[in-house]
């Protein structure tokens, strides 16, 4: 009753207006399932959505903008595409993003150099041999997605930001190509991969469509650093500060 009163106070009654927390609480209160959720578990799920669903996306978008600023040719090409495809629109819709083929190459290259999670943890289900090493069953394995994306045995000029390397290539980040696994692979691949990529692509397309971008105080592009700060997510060591100049107003 207390929860219903709170929801009513915010003008949110009715099943059609339920959010994720409402759904989890309803599941808990129904008490008709073999698996029961506790309040702490609901808190954990909610925090996962905030951290995995927003922190990684924001970090990836910041890296994408960093690389675009540092590579003016790529920036110009990406902006030209989005402005031609969406010409005359006040805002970009999700269906427009599917037509932005070069932007998708930019995203692949960003994920290669800057995977949202650098180290991916797994557990060996059975004993196996890899590269002459014996991996016992139940062993904890840490996969370095960051190093794989920069391995010169797999990539030509691995430190260079070149979206065209994916032109005509079947390599994707959906877990089938082990050269590029920013979201992991197999049954344990990140369940939010579709949400994350759609969120980032749409946001990045909006930024490129509506604004032109420059560094502050006349800073030259080659001076833009890409130093990293390793943690749960690999963020920029220094925050990215940019000056946005309106190109296409949101409500023209």
The phi and psi torsions of 208 (rounded to 5 degrees) equal -75, -30
% of the chain with per-residue pLDDT over 70 = 90
The pLDDT-based confidence of 196 (bands split at 50, 70, 90) is confident
Mean pLDDT rounded to a whole number for the chain: 87
Where is pLDDT greater, at 82 or 31? 82
SS3 annotation, 3-50: HHHHHHHCCCCCHHHCCHHHHHHHHHHHCCCCCCCCHHHHHHHHHHHH
The stretch 131-138 carries a mean pLDDT of 94
More confident position, 228 or 188: 228
Predicted local confidence at residue 33, as pLDDT: 64
Is 64 a residue whose pLDDT tops 50? yes
Instruction: Tell me the average pLDDT across 73-100.
Output: 94
190 is in an annotated binding site: yes
23 or 205: which carries more pLDDT confidence?
A: 205
**What are phi and psi for residue 143, nearest 5 degrees?**
-100, 125
Q: Please give the pLDDT value at position 163.
A: 98
pLDDT at 42: 84
Domains of the chain, residue spans: 20-115+149-246
209 or 25, greater pLDDT: 209
How far, rounded to the nearest angstrom, does the alpha carbon of residue 149 sit from its chain's CA centroid? 15
pLDDT at 116: 85
Q: Which residues pair with 134 in a beta bridge?
A: 129
pLDDT at 244 over 70: yes
> What pLDDT was estimated at residue 17?
66
How high is the pLDDT of residue 87? 92
Instruction: State the average pLDDT over residues 239-246.
Output: 93
Most confident listed range (28-32, 33-37, 200-204): 200-204
Q: What is the pLDDT of residue 1?
A: 45
Over range 216-244, report the average pLDDT.
87
Four-point Cα dihedral 57, 140, 155, 200, nearest 10? -10
Return the CATH number of 20-115+149-246, one of 1.10.630.10, 3.40.50.920, 1.20.140.70, 1.20.140.10: 1.10.630.10
**What pLDDT, in 10s, does the model give residues 46-56?**
877 776 667 78
Q: How confident is the model at residue 4 (pLDDT cuts 50, 70, 90)?
A: low
Q: Write the CA distances from 40 to 14, 36, 43, 168, 221, integer angstroms.
A: 25, 12, 5, 47, 47
* Cα-based distances in Å from 93 to 40, 68, 206, 210: 37, 22, 9, 13
């Amino acid at each position: 009753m207390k929860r219903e009163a709170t929801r009513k106070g915010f003008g949110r009654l009715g099943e059609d207006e339920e959010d994720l927390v409402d759904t989890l609480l309803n599941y808990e209160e129904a008490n008709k399932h073999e698996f029961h959720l506790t309040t702490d578990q609901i808190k954990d799920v909610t925090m996962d959505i905030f951290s995995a669903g927003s922190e990684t996306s924001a970090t990836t978008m910041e890296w994408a903008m960093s690389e675009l600023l540092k590579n003016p040719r790529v920036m110009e090409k990406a902006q030209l595409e989005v402005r031609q495809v969406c010409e005359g629109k006040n805002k970009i819709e999700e269906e427009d993003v599917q037509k932005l083929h070069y932007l998708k190459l930019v995203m692949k290259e960003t994920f290669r150099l800057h995977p949202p999670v650098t180290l991916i943890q797994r557990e060996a289900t059975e004993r196996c041999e890899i590269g002459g090493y014996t991996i016992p069953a139940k062993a904890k394995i840490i996969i370095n997605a960051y190093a794989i994306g920069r391995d010169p045995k797999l990539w030509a000029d691995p430190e260079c930001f070149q979206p065209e390397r994916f032109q005509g290539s079947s390599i994707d980040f959906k877990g089938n190509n082990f050269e590029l696994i920013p979201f992991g692979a197999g049954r344990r691949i990140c369940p939010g991969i579709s949400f994350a990529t759609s969120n980032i692509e749409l946001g990045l397309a909006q930024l490129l469509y509506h604004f032109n971008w420059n560094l502050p105080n006349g800073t030259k592009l080659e001076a833009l650093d890409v130093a990293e700060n390793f943690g749960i997510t690999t963020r920029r060591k220094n925050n990215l500060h940019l000056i946005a100049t309106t190109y296409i107003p949101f409500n023209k």
